[in-house]
Chains A and B, each alone.
Chain A
Amino acid sequence: MGARIVMQSVLMAGASTLSACIDYPSEDKRFSQELVITAYDKKADFSSYGTFAIVPEVKVVNVDDAGAMASVDPAASSAIIERVASSLASRGYARVDRDASPDLGVGVTVVQGSGTGSVSGSYWAGYYASYWGYTDYGLYYPYAYTYEYGRGTLATQLFDLKNAPKPDAGTADAGTSNLTTVWTSAAYQAMPEENADLPKVLDTIDQAFLQSPYLHR
């Protein structure tokens, strides 16, 4: 009898052990670390692009304030822009001015605030589309993968200007046409606050290009 009680107790303990097997860390924990996520348009022929122009400052979007945009510290902004530009140049793309009909438009954005959402959200769509002269255009992300922004995400995006429907060509419908975002990099926790660790921020840019070997002319 005693042995049976002991055995039953051990069996119950065993069952409890199995049921207590931990699962993965919570989503909050997984996304509270430094992550570098890149996504690209598989239909894009990156070798077909020859030039790029880059928005000369890093914009900050606060999702807690209806997407209000501000600017990053000029020194940090300049360092980030130059690192992105030099990375693209190292892949064979030539940097040109906005007025020189670049094939690719480049925008770098920091997302601040406690809110989260999908990268396909359009807090900055109007700003960037208009910057390249595509007023009332949206942004199209041709990859199914979406992820949360917020928490100091540094988002770097390449817009396909070469194949965009031209506003003056009669092929675009205002308010319904999009610029295709052929490449996106999102570096989580890269700039959680203004006093971000700039070398680490630059490292995330390097990592984004490192894990995107297809991105070259």
Chain B
Amino acid sequence: MAAHVHEDAIGLRARWPHGLVLMALFWCLLAPDAHAAPATAESAQTESAQSGARDAEGTLIGLGYTIGIASGDLHEIIDNPSYRGIDVTLHHEIMHSWYIGVGVGYNHFHQDDGRDTYVTDWGAVTGTFYRAYGTVSLALSNRYYLLSPRSLVRPYAGVRLGVAFSSASLMVADVHEYSAPAGFLVVPEAGAAIRLTDYLRLSVGYQYDFTTVSFRGVDHASFHGLQVGAVFDY
């Protein structure tokens, strides 16, 4: 196990022979304990035990709170941020630092302002528009973690592919318009996991939820997500 730590730290550079300067900088700053390779497996084991850091992370369970900021057409009708977002992920390492898994997310946007006229087939209503947009995403997730599991901070980048089930509704007075479109989902994401304990990391990240979901007045409902959460190592 201890030898694996050594290979992982060195191997990261070996797999990226033209490794990015930034990555090297991260490595130097955030993984100082990997600078000096233990001379023997025994010494590595001792070092690992002393540092308290784990050598590998097999399955990661992530729970995150997401603040959403609508973009594009969706932002045109709802510019209030969404403070109701949650994200759950399950990742398993299939190669060094490369994880695949699944993710489920939920975000709810709403806005209670804006006076406008809604035209119906029997007339029209002028009043305050109450809009809401909610979406549940189901996706396969692909994530690559930089640096070794022993590092204090592990930056990551990834992408999710899946489907989004949405609901869009508008209410003015007692006139209610509702639709439940679905579409494909692509979510590029990046962030960092900060080690708190051997089994727990604080996660912060950014993601962009692009969907093909469309409804009246909105094409490709999408939003930016700022996320903070926890990653559990099982």
Contacts and interface: CB of A to CB of B under 8 A. Distances in A.
Residue of B126, B171, B200 with most partner-chain A CB within 10 A: B126
Contacts of B134: 21
A31 B130 CA distance: 13
A7 B62 CA distance: 9
Nearest to B131: A24
B160 interface: no
Interface in B113-157: 117, 119-128, 130, 132, 134
B106 A3 contact: no
B174 interface: yes
B86 A6 contact: no
A30 B120 contact: no
A216 to B, nearest CB: 15
Contacts of B86: 14, 17-18
Contacts of A147: 173-174
A211 B173 contact: no
Nearest to A185: B123
A31 B173 contact: yes
Interface residues of A, number: 33
Interface in B84-131: 84, 86, 88, 106, 108, 110, 112, 117, 119-128, 130
Contacts of A207: 117, 126
A42 interface: yes
Interface in A162-178: none
Contacts of B84: 17-18, 21
Contacts of A10: 63, 230
A42 B122 contact: yes
B61 interface: yes
A34 B124 contact: no
A196 B63 CA distance: 54
A17 to B, nearest CB: 6
Contact of B63 (A11, A21, A27, A33): A11
Contacts of B120: 145
Given A21-B134, A143-B122, A33 B106 contact: no
A211 B120 CA distance: 11
Contacts of B173: 30-31, 35, 37, 147
A24 B125 contact: no
Contact of B106 (A18, A24, A27, A39): A18
B232 interface: yes
A27 B174 contact: yes
A30 B233 CA distance: 48
A144 interface: yes
A17 B83 CA distance: 10
A34 B127 contact: yes
Interface of B: 61, 63, 84, 86, 88, 106, 108, 110, 112, 117, 119-128, 130, 132, 134, 171-174, 199-200, 230, 232-234
11 contacts: A3-B200, A3-B234, A14-B88, A24-B132, A30-B172, A31-B174, A35-B172, A36-B126, A40-B122, A143-B123, A144-B122
The 7 A-B pairs at the shortest CB distance, nearest first, are namely A39-B123, A211-B124, A35-B127, A36-B126, A38-B123, A143-B122, A14-B86
